[in-house]
Each structure stands twice: as structure tokens, then as C-alpha cells.
């Protein structure tokens, strides 16, 4: 079993107890210290399945646990005033924190900064108009990111396209880890894999590898990935199906696009603006996923209401997976219109700029 370095990004290694949403969990969940793979995220399958299977709570129509998960992905809304627009060819492509702008001032060949930074009146940051081609821009910003070193941790060496909105011209490409520092919208594909047996639906849930850079050991849905430059959503989901769950193309080609969710999250200099294209894939009853890239520790097939319980009652899932599964719960009728807050929760799944 792997031991683990500190979790990257938002996953700051919470304790086991912190991972439970206590206000709605009056009963005591005792964690076994010998639960398999409990090290990285503070819980194991045993813990998750115990919370999942407690059906006697009668809180199905209480949506507050879901609202809290949406909030976790949409922090710092009150801090938007600390950011200025990031423009390319007069189009807004992102937002940069005024404090981060200071670190960009020396790169005169790359950025134009309007306003007076010393008096905190920066108006916006533009890419130099002398950088005319996407290639020039990609290279120039890539060099800036290298120079900034540890200012931008967790470099992935994976390029994301930068546009004003999805499907529009790509102005340049940007290192994935740098996207939130420039408030660039990042797109991804997330897929719920499910099985139907005797009219009941089950979700395949993954537990992330304990040595994964981000959110180690946390729960995840079957397949997900960022959307890099130059690949369609459909091709990307097929590729990720193969790599993450060993799903052959003959099956993954049936993955169905079902909509999108979005969120915006501000933390320090980072302004995350993510849009996730959601997919469903109904799998054969006898299919068993098999991770091929080492990013997933193990999978379990869980009744949908049990997965819903984990979401509502704990923080075991990687935060943005909660939203994609909540979207699934809406579309498959597990969250009912007569539950108080139905419409607000539905709307909140696209709290970010979904364009």
C-alpha cells in the first residue's frame, strides 16, 4: 500500500472526521484504522460503504448535503473584485489577480498592463499585440511560466486551448496548471458509468490512486479527463475510457453526451473556471472496469442511492465529481421536484460561466 505526499491543489489532506459532513451525520461512523487504502485520503472502501448503505435516515428529500458540495466548488465569489480582465485581441479570455499581476510586470515583451499597479489601480492585462500567432503566444507564455517557477506549482506539461468560449478560435495554448492563475476557462469530459439490473441502477465508482498528484485516495466516477488542445469531446472520452477503466471502443462509443456543469472557484491568486461536459455510459452487467494508467486504485459497483448518500453525508468524493453525479441524480430522477430547493440546486450546477 502506498504512502503519500501532501495532496496537491484544494485537497489539503483533511482528517477523516473532517471528511464527514458532520451537521447532517448525527450517528457515529467509526473508522477502522486498518481499512485498506485509508492512508492518503483518510478513509477506505469500508468507511465509504458503511455510510453509503445506511438507508434508515429518511433524509432523501433533504438537499442540504448536495448544496454544500456545490459550495465547495464555488468558493470566493466575493473576491471577484480582486481580479482584472485578461485580454487577447480585445477579447476577454480570463482574469488575473491584482497581486499576481505584479509578477507579470517584468515581462514587457509578453504583457501590457493598463493602470498603475503600485496604486492598486490595474485595469486589465493584455497579451502584447506583437505576439501575432498562436504559436508565438504559446511559446512566450510558456517561457513566463518557466520563469515563475514555484509560483505555479504542479506543472503537468499538458496544454489547454485558450478561447473566449468553447468552439471559438484558439488564441494560444497554456500549461494546464497555469490556467487558474490566468483565470482561463478549462474544459473537461466526465463520465458516469452505470449498470441496470432488474430496474435498479448502479454506478461504477473509482477510488483514486494513493500516489496520484491531485486528490489521492478520493472517490471519483468511472472516467474523467481534461480536454486538451486538438481533440474532440467524443474522442477524448473514448481515449479516457480506455486508459482509466479499460473500456474498449466497441463499448465506449455508446457514451452519451448529456449536458454540462460549471463552477468558478477563487482561492488566493487562482481563479478556476471549469466547464465539464457530462457523459453517461450504460455498461453491460458483466463488465468490470480495469484501470490501465495506474491512476485508479480500485472500483466498486454501488447502487445509485448509496452513491447519493456518500455525496450528501461525506466529503469522500473529489469535489467536482460530486457535481457531475448530482447532475446524474437529477437526470435519472433520484432528486425530486417536490424536494425543497430543487430548482436552486439544479441551477447551481452551472454556477460558473458555462460557455
Smallest distance from its own copies to CB 189, Å: 8
8 A C-beta contact, residue 217 and residue 37? yes
C-beta of 93 vs 122, nearer to its own copies: 93
Q: 336: helix, coil or strand?
A: coil
Taking the complex as a whole, how short is the minimal distance between the CB of residue 237 and its own copies, in angstroms?
A: 9
Q: Residues 313-348, buried b or exposed e (16+ Cβ, 10 A)?
A: bbbbbbbbbbbbbbbbbbeeebbeeeeeeeeebeeb
> Does residue 249 touch its own copies according to CB under 8 A?
no
Q: Which is nearer to its own copies, 139 or 331 (CB)?
A: 331
State the nearest-atom distance from the C-beta of 262 to its own copies, in Å.
Answer: 8
Give yes or no for residue 248 binding its own copies (CB under 8 A). Answer: no
Q: Closer to its own copies at the Cβ: 31 or 166?
A: 166
Q: At what angle do helices 319-331 and 304-313 cross, to 10 degrees?
A: 140
Q: Grid coordinates standing for 312?
A: 450528501
- Contact pattern from residue 39 through residue 78 relative to its own copies, giving x for each residue in contact according to CB under 8 A and a dash for the rest: ----------------------------------------
Q: Is 167 in the site for its own copies (CB under 8 A)?
A: yes
Residue 346 in contact with its own copies, rule: CB under 8 A: yes
Site string for its own copies, 5-44 (x = CB under 8 A): ----------------------------------------
| Residue 266-285 contact track with its own copies, rule CB under 8 A, x = bound | ---------x-x--------
Bridge-partner residues for 15, per DSSP? none
Place of cell 476577454: 92
61 versus 112: smaller Cβ distance to its own copies: 61
End-to-end CA distance of the chain: 42
Q: Binding to its own copies by residue 233, rule CB under 8 A? A: yes
Pairwise CA distance, residues 270 & 73, whole Å: 13
User: How far is residue 52's CA from residue 56's CA, in Å, rounded to a whole number?
Assistant: 11
* Burial class of 17 by CB neighbour count within 10 A (0 to 12, 13 to 18, 19+): exposed
Which stretch in 41-49, 107-115, 232-240, 298-306 sits in contact with its own copies by CB under 8 A?
Answer: 232-240
Is 77 exposed, middle or buried (CB count within 10 Å of its CB: 0-12, 13-18, 19+)?
A: exposed
Judged by CB under 8 A, the chain residues 322 through 341 that form the site for its own copies are 330-333, 335-338, 340-341
- Sorted by sequence, the CB contacts under 8 Å of residue 129 that are 6+ apart come out as 89, 112
- Residue 302 or 354 having the CB closest to its own copies: 354
**Residue pair 263/320 in contact by the 8 Å Cβ criterion:** yes
Which parts of this chain interact with its own copies (CB under 8 A)?
165-167, 232-234, 256-260, 275, 277, 330-333, 335-338, 340-344, 346-347, 350, 354-355
Amino acid at each position: 500500500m502506498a504512502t503519500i505526499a501532501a495532496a496537491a491543489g484544494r485537497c489539503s489532506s483533511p482528517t477523516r472526521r473532517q471528511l464527514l459532513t458532520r451537521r447532517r451525520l448525527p450517528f457515529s461512523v467509526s473508522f477502522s484504522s486498518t481499512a485498506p487504502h485509508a492512508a492518503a485520503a483518510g478513509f477506505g472502501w469500508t468507511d465509504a460503504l458503511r455510510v453509503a448503505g445506511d438507508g434508515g435516515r429518511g433524509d432523501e428529500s433533504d438537499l442540504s448535503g448536495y448544496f454544500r458540495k456545490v459550495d465547495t466548488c464555488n468558493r470566493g465569489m466575493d473576491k471577484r473584485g480582486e481580479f482584472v480582465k485578461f485580454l487577447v485581441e480585445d477579447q476577454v479570455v480570463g482574469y488575473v489577480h491584482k497581486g499576481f499581476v505584479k509578477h507579470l510586470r517584468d515581462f514587457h515583451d509578453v504583457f501590457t498592463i493598463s493602470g498603475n499597479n503600485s496604486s492598486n489601480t490595474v485595469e486589465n492585462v493584455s497579451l502584447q499585440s506583437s505576439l501575432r500567432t498562436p504559436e508565438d503566444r504559446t511559446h512566450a507564455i510558456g517561457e513566463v511560466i518557466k520563469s515563475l517557477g514555484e509560483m505555479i506549482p504542479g506543472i503537468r506539461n499538458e496544454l489547454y486551448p485558450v478561447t473566449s468560449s468553447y468552439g471559438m478560435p484558439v488564441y494560444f495554448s497554456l500549461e494546464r496548471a497555469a490556467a487558474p492563475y490566468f483565470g482561463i476557462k478549462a474544459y473537461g469530459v466526465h463520465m458516469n458509468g452505470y449498470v441496470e439490473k432488474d430496474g435498479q441502477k448502479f454506478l461504477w465508482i473509482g477510488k483514486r490512486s494513493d500516489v496520484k498528484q491531485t486528490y489521492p485516495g478520493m472517490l471519483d466516477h468511472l472516467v474523467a479527463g481534461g480536454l486538451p488542445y486538438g481533440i474532440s469531446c467524443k474522442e477524448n472520452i473514448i481515449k479516457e475510457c480506455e486508459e482509466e477503466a479499460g473500456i474498449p471502443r466497441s463499448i465506449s462509443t455508446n457514451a452519451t453526451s448529456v449536458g454540462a456543469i460549471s463552477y468558478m472557484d477563487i482561492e488566493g491568486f487562482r481563479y478556476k473556471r471549469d466547464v465539464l461536459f457530462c457523459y453517461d455510459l450504460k455498461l453491460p452487467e458483466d463488465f468490470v472496469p480495469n484501470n490501465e494508467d495506474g491512476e485508479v486504485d480500485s472500483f466498486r459497483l454501488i447502487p445509485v442511492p448509496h452513491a447519493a448518500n456518500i455525496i450528501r453525508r461525506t466529503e469522500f468524493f473529489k469535489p467536482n465529481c460530486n457535481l457531475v453525479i448530482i447532475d446524474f441524480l437529477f437526470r435519472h430522477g433520484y432528486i425530486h421536484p417536490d424536494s425543497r430547493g430543487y430548482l436552486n440546486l439544479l441551477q447551481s450546477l452551472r454556477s460558473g460561466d458555462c460557455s
